[in-house]
Structure 1
Amino acid sequence: MRRVVILSSVLWLGALMSAPVSYGQVAQGSIEHPYRGVQTRVPGVFVTPVPNAPFSAVVDIQTTVELDNGQTAMRKTTNRIARDAQGRIYNERRQLVPVTFAGEPSLLSVHLYDPQTRMSVFLIPSTHLAHEMVLQQRPQEPSHPLSPEIKEEDLGSSVMEAVAVHGILQTKTVTAAVSTTGKPLMIKDQYWYSEDLHLNMLMKHEDPRTGAQIISVTQVKRGEPDPKLFEVPAGYKAVDETPVQ
């Protein structure tokens, strides 16, 4: 199998810690986080911890990886996400399983974040540990300037899950000298962003060398989620990982 990018939730936490202090709107053509390509570990959708926009939803992830023998391997998973009116977030990461798998994929971790206390918690079901860290500053929706080799196309507006979204398509041409295939190729990334919910409702990534990945937000329910989602469950041992100042 060709190598694919591995991205853990540690990078997700790093993104939270390095974000600016104040909240801000995403500029025209910007996105929540640049997509990093086909992955074997997928953190899912970044849920911005903004207040007064409560919802719950399901994130469906489908991955197609090109194998060395010319065949493809397709995998899937489903994560639950939520945010309450205070801006507290709940975000799951579940195991990628074959598309023929029937049932619920195993829960690998849950990320909780409270913007009032700046407490970030990663729950690990396999160890029943709650890794806690007080962040120095609150995350915001970051904007990312494009590199010169990336072209961006405005896809206009649409509606997904009864939510208004705006789409962009980013394309990057990789020259034959560096593509590892002996010929030029094009990488495509598509984003459909909801200004109302402050998150990407749909992300599509295509790379002829590795395959494709689709991350879509479905089953959106507006309103206050179950408050128990944002609490550390009974039986978990808290581990304080806040850096010593």
Structure 2
Amino acid sequence: MSCFRSCPAVFSFLFATLFFAQNQQQMPRDYRGVETNVPGIFVTPVPNAPFSATVDILSHETLPDGTVNTRTTTAHVARASSGRIYNERRQLVPASFKGEPQLLSALVYDPSSRLSIFYNPYEHLARERNLPRPPAAPANSVPAFTPPNNPYFKQEDIGTQPLDGLTLTGIRKTHIIPAAMSGTGKEIAIVDEYWYSSDLSIYMIIKHNDPRTGEQLVAVSNVERHEPAASVFAIPANYKIVDENPPELPATQQPTEAAPAQR
């Protein structure tokens, strides 16, 4: 506090920096070129809502030369009554591909112990770690925070729709990129739709459309609302378990409470 009183130049600089940063949050990010991120579905680890399903992903990616690269994949997700989840990522493949796409990774998470098991199929490793907090949703898998009173963002409710016995509630988020910043010379509207199932506590449909990069669709299908087999959450027999928890300190090195101050 004394520095602010004796260093008005420093205070003015910090105030200007804070003002600039706050106003920068109102501006859309610069366009970095074709970056297509399709994260899939985030399965929330909540109890008493068991299910298993497949996640279908379809990507129409517009390339710089104007051609469209169409890719697709199908992954598997599940949740036990305890809240334990299984979620996997599989390779995006051409639409003509036959068979099951290659597994890229898989995650098992138990909210009761916060034990996270990450599967690395390339090295056949199961990396175990107790997390200090539940896992966060990947970018674009849930609606991002929209700054209030921002002319470049708009959020609207788009009603409900039925799907496989569920009622989905939808929201649409529109992100405007001014012509001077879009890289195209024209104003661009990036539109994201999220359709949520309160019964399953997950987003069942996610749509992303950016005229510069194309359109991506993520949809949950083949939902079976009963307890998944225990084998879904079991570590494959041909995987090596790696404990990635930090080693515990010996008793002599454990931190102790500070002694009370002498009066």
TM range (shorter): 0.7 to 0.9
Q: For residue 212 of structure 1, what is the amino acid of its counterpart?
A: E
Separation in structure 1 between the aligned mates of residue 227 and residue 190 of structure 2, nearest angstrom: 39
Count of equivalent residues: 210
- SS of the residue aligned with 2:231? helix
Larger Rg: 2
User: Unaligned regions of 5+ residues in structure 2, if any?
Assistant: 1-31, 249-263
Residues 85-128 of structure 1, C-alpha deviations (whole Å, 9 max, x = no match): 00000111110000111111111111100011101111112211
Match of 2:98 in 1: 102
Deviation above 6 Å: which 4+ runs of structure 1? 140-143
User: Unaligned regions of 5+ residues in structure 1, if any?
Assistant: 6-37
TM-fit CA distance, 1:231 = 1.5
Residues 193-233 of structure 1, C-alpha deviations (whole Å, 9 max, x = no match): 01110100000000011111000000000010011111111
Question: What is the aligned-residue RMSD (CA, Å)?
Answer: 1.9
Q: For residue 219 of structure 2, what is the amino acid of its counterpart?
A: S
Q: For residue 96 of structure 2, what is the amino acid of its counterpart?
A: T
Residue among 177, 181, 185 paired with 1:182:
185
Residues 167-212 of structure 1, C-alpha deviations (whole Å, 9 max, x = no match): 0111111001110111111000000001110100000000011111
For the structure 1 residues 214 and 144, does the alpha-carbon distance in structure 2 shift closer, same or farther, using more than 3 Å as the test?
Answer: closer
Residue identity (%): 49
Query: 1:1-245 maps to which residues of 2 (within 5 A)?
Result: 3-5=33-35, 38-39=36-37, 42-139=38-135, 144-147=144-147, 148=150, 149-243=152-246
Pick 1 or 2: higher relative contact order, CA cutoff 8 A, min separation 6.
1
What is the TM-score normalised by the length of structure 1? 0.81
